[in-house]
Chain A
């Protein structure tokens, strides 16, 4: 069965996935909206940057984040200068890493959903006296709601399975940055296969259920292949 440190790792994992998903929805919505509507000719460059974590080894992303967030990096250095501590090997650092790592899983379904809504409903709303912000909240958001569901579930599930980035910038500090995927690795290293089984099966089942929900409730939208 699960011991206390396993439960702590599980709690940290869920907290990390939940917080990252929330931040991603808040940042990803305006970004996806802009990407879906702009006619800027270099928009493909930004789309490629957003999609990078799909193909990049997580260690590469983790390495750069470590450099940036560490005491000698631009972000970490600035934090230190302001009297804080560097973000590497902290929970906050993990959240920042996860936001980058799971970005395409949130932004792409949202962008697809906004593109599928099209211009017409927004034009209709304009002729019915709705201001641009009003149109976004009363027409674009409700029509794209299936995309939000997909984005939230994929962002959450993908963050659960994070390993390489976490190891690079979070280290393996029990109670602070040790997540389930790393706890499993530790158990296997220590030949504690029973514990590894329980955690792995739990993660497997949770991920399967979430993806099944996405595919069942939401057949109209393209789902990014993890």
Chain B
């Protein structure tokens, strides 16, 4: 099952020309700088703006084709706007019920209580929207969109208007949607951080055109993608909790290329986590270092390298089939004689757990 999106929008100085197919499961992130057409595309998918030249198919439902345009209120979707946009004249409870009441009973697959629990808004139900904090408002807006049992959830930078603490408050809730409900999500963002935490699939947009699209792991480490450059370039790795070391208070995480050892986290053995390794934290050696404080060392092969400014080089490694980025100086690359196919050891100085 997939979501097929084709739109040609021409507004004089701005034009959007998109022909996309993304998986109808997991979180697909529309990523790009502001003004690249992310929100326009999302609104076209929702049917909030009608564009003549478009085709839209979600799973087996055709929402727009040559002569056919399903108006937004007949599309089984959920939409979370950048500003929570709660109805000011209704309490939190009545805001949540507004959509539920309009969905026929046999199409309700998400119980209202489930949406309330997922977003942790039980204590807020009798409040008025103007008595809520920004973070609480956005959680109510997400629950409201979920409660209509959408077959597709559209989120337009739901965290953009919030400060760092509020973002940290909401992110875990959005992550849990992902794990607990089988609803495909299209998530508009310009924050690499949010994308790294949430996305499974990435669509890179620039000036109204799709630059690249693919799985998140691949997209972050493809050297022809803008995400694989700059100081924030990073690798995401899914790993399984293999066990805990009680003596030194550590946790072991296994992936195809070996084992990460990190400071102990209260995670059940067997659960999967997403790890983030910044390219600037990965150094390379030709031999396995023994006298080092670094715990995470993996045998790797150089796959590709590309100059990064005047002084540095971005190296794409393969670690047991898993791509990983390392950023080293041009001098080091020359001293180590790095070239595709060369076996090296990758040392990860620090590793962050995302979930």
Contact = CB atoms under 8 A, between A and B. Distances in A.
A120 interface: yes
Interface centre among A121, A125, A126, A127 (most CB of B within 10 A): A127
Interface residues of A, number: 18
Given A123-B48, A124-B87, A143-B88, A129 B73 contact: yes
B98 A128 contact: yes
B315 interface: no
B138 to A, nearest CB: 13
Contacts of A132: 73
B89 A128 contact: no
A184 to B, nearest CB: 42
B102 A127 contact: no
B55 interface: no
B322 interface: no
B348 interface: no
B78 A127 contact: yes
B73 A124 contact: no
Interface string B71-111: 11110011101010101110000000011001100000000
A175 interface: no
Contacts of B79: 123-124, 127
B144 interface: yes
Contacts of B74: 129
Nearest to B72: A126
A131 interface: yes
B46 interface: yes
A130 interface: yes
Interface of B: 46, 48, 71-74, 77-79, 81, 83, 85, 87-89, 98-99, 102-103, 144-145, 148
28 contacts: A120-B81, A120-B83, A121-B85, A121-B87, A123-B81, A124-B85, A124-B87, A126-B48, A126-B71, A127-B46, A127-B48, A127-B77, A127-B78, A127-B145, A128-B73, A128-B99, A128-B102, A129-B102, A129-B103, A130-B73, A134-B73, A134-B102, A138-B98, A142-B89, A143-B87, A143-B88, A143-B89, A145-B89
Interface of A: 120-121, 123-132, 134, 138-139, 142-143, 145
